[in-house]
Structure 1
C-alpha cells in the first residue's frame, strides 16, 4: 500500500515536555543518576524542565538534589501501565500484510531466535498499522511512536550527553514525521480497520495464552511455585479481553499524564 505524507501532526510544547519528563522521571526512579538542584555539567540543560516539574509538584527539591514526589510517581505509574498495554495491544499490529490480511506475529513462536524473527519481518509486504489503530481508538499517535522509541532504547541515558539529545528537537521531529507518513484509518477504510483490529485482538490473546503456557512449562521444571504465576497471568488475559471490541480503549489512556 502506498503511503502518502500528510502534514497534520505537530507536537505541542506540552507534548514535548511530557515526553521529556517521562524520560527524566524514569532515570530518577529506575536509574542511578542523582540530579543536583544546582545546575552544572550536562544536567544544566535540564534545569528549565526541572523548574516546571517542581512548580507543578511532580518533583521536589530535597537538600541539594531533586526527588520524585508521590504525584510524580503516580504519573509515572500511569504511563508504565499505558506502556505495558502498548506492548500487548499495539505491537501485534507492527507487521501486517494488508493484501492477505496476515499478521507476522501469528508466526512469532515459530522462530528460535531474534535474528530469524527480524529477517522474517524485514519484508516489504508488511505494513505498520500501530498509528492507524491508535487513531481509530482515539489515542494519541505521537505517544504510541514515543513508546516505540522507548522500546528501541532511543533515549539511552547511559550515553554521555543524552541530556542535550533529549532537549533538542531531533527526536520530536522524527515522531512528527512518522505520524505524518504513517498509514491512517481512512487509507484502510472503517470496515477493514474493524476486521484488522478484531483479528489483531484475537491474536493478542492467543499470544498471551501461548506465552503463559510456555512460562508454566518452564516453571514446572523448577519443582513447583507455578500457582501464583498462573493466577496473575490469567488475570492479565482477562484484563485485555475488553479489547475484543475494536472500539475499546482502556480508561487509563484517556487522562492527561501531566497538567502543565
Structure 2
C-alpha cells in the first residue's frame, strides 16, 4: 500500500466544536458541575456550544439545567472506547528509537517511579511516532493529539476560567502545530513503518499480558473469589487487540463520526 502524503492539518470549526463538546460532556457526566441555560460568569461563554448541542439532540434542557441526552451519552461512550484504544495502541509509539529499532515502553516495568521513567524517556534519541502511525492507519491525527491533551489533563476543568481557554484558539492552534511538525509516514518509509508498527503491536500485547499477570498476582493476595472473573475480562481485552498485529488494521469504532453537526 503506497503511503499517501498529507502535508497540513487544519482544524475546521466542526473539528474544534467536537473536541470542545467532548470536554463539556465529560464535565457534565463525570462531575457535579451543573450548567444552566441562564448561565452567567465563566459558564456564559459556553452558551453557543450548548445551543448547538441542544439543536442536534446531544443534550436536553430540564427546567433551566442542561442534561446529557441518551444520544449524547452514546457519543461520549464511543469517544471513551476510542480513548481506551489510544492509550493501548498509540501510546507505545510515543518514544521510539528509529535508528536502533527500540521502544522505550519495552522497559516500562523496569522503573519504580514516574520520575525515573520520565528521565529515561526524555532522551533525545526517542521520537514520537504516534502521528505517523495515525496517518498510516488513516485515522485523524488531530484526534490523536487531542486525546494526548486529555491524558495530560490539558483541559483541566478545576482551574478557574477553563471555559474561556476551551472556547479560545490556543489549544487548537497547538494541536495543528503538533500535527504539522510531527514525523510523517513518508519520512520513515513504508517498509520501516510496517516493521515498526508490527514491533509496537507485539510490544503492546506483551505489556498487556505482563499487566494481567501483575493484576492476577495482586488478586491472589485478596483471595480467590475474584481472580477468575478478572482473568476472563483481561483475556477478552487482549483478544480484542490481537487484530492490531496487522499493521494496516483499524478498529471500526474509529470509522464513524463522533458528532454530526
Aligned to 1:166: 166
Aligned to 1:243: 244
TM-score by length of 1: 0.97
Q: What is the distance in 2 between the residues matched to 1:153 and 1:259?
A: 26
Aligned to 1:137: 137
Structure 2: gaps (5+ residues): 1-5
Aligned to 2:189: 189
Give the C-alpha shift of residue 32 in structure 1: 1.1
For the pair 1:252 / 2:233, whether they are aligned, the reply is no
Aligned to 1:106: 106
Q: What is the distance in 1 between the residues matched to 2:117 and 2:64?
A: 48
Q: What is the distance in 2 between the residues matched to 1:53 and 1:38?
A: 16
CA-atom RMSD in angstroms: 0.8
Aligned to 1:120: 120
What are the within-5 Å matches in structure 2 for residues 1-260 of structure 1?
A: 8-224=8-224, 225-260=226-261
Q: What is the distance in 1 between the residues matched to 2:157 and 2:229?
A: 35
Aligned to 1:3: none
Poorly superposed stretches of 4+, deviation over 2 Å: none
Q: What is the distance in 2 between the residues matched to 1:115 and 1:223?
A: 33
Q: What is the distance in 2 between the residues matched to 1:40 and 1:115?
A: 41
TM-score by length of 2: 0.97
**SS class of match (1:99):** coil
Q: What is the distance in 2 between the residues matched to 1:102 and 1:253?
A: 28
**SS class of match (2:67):** strand
Q: What is the distance in 1 between the residues matched to 2:161 and 2:119?
A: 33
Name the count of aligned residue pairs. 255
Q: What is the distance in 1 between the residues matched to 2:53 and 2:35?
A: 13
